[in-house]
Each structure stands twice: as structure tokens, then as C-alpha cells.
Amino acid sequence: MLEITFLGTGAGVPSKDRAMSAVAIRQGPKVTLFDCAEGTQRQLMMSKLSFMKIGQIFITHLHGDHLLGLPGLIQTMGMSGRKNPLDVYGPKGTYDAVMGMLNACEGVYEYELRITEIDGCQRLEFNTHHVDCFPTVHGVPSLGYRYEEKETPGTFDKAKAISLGIRPGPDFGKLQNGETVDGVTPDQVMDPPKRGLSVVYTGDTVQADSVLVGSKGADLLIHDSTYDVGEEERAAKHMHSTCRQAAEVAREAGARYLILTHFSHRYSDCTVLMEHARETFPETYVANDFDTFELTRSSIRPI
């Protein structure tokens, strides 16, 4: 089970109703943050998430409305007693950008800050998940991220094992750990591993093949949806997507669910963008600030 919380869903500038880009994925106690616009630390405080549980922060690109909350959050974590290292990932230029902002405000923090720049496609492995990075198309170095739980072992079939002559006890454990016992191989008594849930977050992008490739078979695609249908020209000019373009990517990629975010402030109620997207991809939802979705193998639901 993954929990996805939208901390900011507006494009470019904030409004009374929408802060700027930040999305959190919670897996068990751990929180991973994607983008960190100005105000994200306070949005976190107003949400049910603990900002002290954040292990990694992924920045899609170095525009202010995705980045400017980082120095404040880094400092606040320090003032709140953080000791664990913090990993920040982003495109080329991220190191200078983050250090430039921290130096500007004499940022003080006592934990280890590790900044990694990603160039192109790359898989990053963590204990409970991995993150695949892929390029998006937004006129500056920009990345999308695919967060995926590690696969879990299939169910062990005790009755089958016994029928094959294995005695309950340590040999059961050996088979579950992948060892062969008395000629019985693990795949004879174990279901295939269960793949983990996957969530793709595009950040800002036009409709792009690289996003389609990165989103193949994802359980959830969170896609730039700055504009409504009919605004394709404006979307192309500013290198964003319309809700329908997002829906087309979700359909082509075979994603299970689509959540639209990063809305232009010309739209006061974004439900209409969801309705337009549903004409192409019925399993579409719209993100508002502080919305949390619970994603399981069988469903997605707001909680």
C-alpha cells in the first residue's frame, strides 16, 4: 500500500487555494518527497505527514515553483534535530542551485546533506523501493520519476512442500530464502514474487515519448495537466500538457490510474479538466492541496 499526498497543486505562482508543486509518497513510516516549492515545509506541517520522516527528495527541474522550498525545509529539519542524512536528487545543476540557496541564507544544519545530479535514465535503489529516473520535455533539464515498491516473495505453499517430502521446520525457511532442499526447488512451492506498486510523477512536461516509456504499466501516473482541452497551443508554447494529453499518455502507457495536477490559476474548479480527461481515460482523478490517495493492488481511493 502506498499513500500519495498532494502538498501543492498549482502552476507557476501560488493562489489562496493552491500552493506550488510538491507531492509526497508514504510507504510504511517512510516519506519520499517529489519537488519542494516555496511553502512546502508549512504545507507538510498542515498535512498528516511528518517532515522528519522524509528520506529522499526528488526535484524534477530547477524552476522556482518546484525548488524554492528546499533551503527552508533543509534548515527546519536541522533545527528540529534531524541526524539522519538527507538525499536530494535532481537534474544537472541541482548541486549549485541548492548550495547557492543555502549559502544565501547562511543555512545551518548538522546532518549530512547528499546531493546527486541525475543525467538521463538511471535506477536508484533503496531498502524498500527503487526510483527510476527518465527525461521529460520542458525546455530545461528535467526528469520524471517512477517510484516502485520492491517486489515481495510469493506465498509459500506448505501443503505442496509437505507433499514433496519436506518436513516442517528449518527446511521451510531455506526454501523461502531461495535454497533448494532435497531436490525440491523454491519455485515448486512458492508463488511467483508479487511486484510492487508503482507511481510515476512527471513534474512539468509536454506530452512526451520518454514519459510514455517511463510510465509503462504504472499503477498510478501523476501527470502535468496545466491546461484544459482547447489550449494545446498555449500548452506547447509553455511546454506543459493539457488534461487530455495527460490522459492519452495514461491510456497508451497502460497505467491503471491517472491523477492530474499542476493547474493554471485560470481554472477555479479543476473538476472540469478531470471530466475532459475521463473521455479518454476513465480512471482519472484531480488533485487538490492536501488530498491523500491510498493506492493498493485493487484500488485507489481518497482518504
Binding mask 140-159 for a second copy (x = CB under 8 A): x-------------------
CA nearest 121: which of 21, 222, 250, 213?
Answer: 213
Label each residue of 123-143 as H, E or C.
EEECCCEEEEEEECCCCCCCE
Instruction: Tell me if residue 291 is catalytic.
Output: no
CB of 220 to a second copy, least distance (A): 28
Q: What are phi and psi of 136, to 5 degrees?
A: -115, 180
**CA angle, 140 then 129 then 6, to 5°:** 55
C-alpha grid cell for residue 82? 534531524
Burial-class residue 217 by CB neighbours within 10 Å (0-12, 13-18, 19+).
exposed
CB of 17 to a second copy, least distance (A): 10
Question: Interface with a second copy includes 247 (CB under 8 A)?
Answer: no
Question: Interface with a second copy includes 239 (CB under 8 A)?
Answer: no
Question: Interface with a second copy includes 100 (CB under 8 A)?
Answer: yes
Question: Residues 22, 68, 221, 300: which binds a second copy (CB under 8 A)?
Answer: 68
Which 165-194 positions form the footprint of a second copy (CB under 8 A)?
Answer: none
Question: Interface with a second copy includes 107 (CB under 8 A)?
Answer: yes
Stretch of 66-74, 113-121, 162-170, 204-212 contacting a second copy, by CB under 8 A: 66-74
Binding interface with a second copy (CB under 8 A)? 12-16, 19, 38-39, 41-42, 45-46, 62-65, 67-69, 71-72, 75-76, 79-80, 96-98, 100-101, 103-107, 140
As annotated, the active-site residues are 65
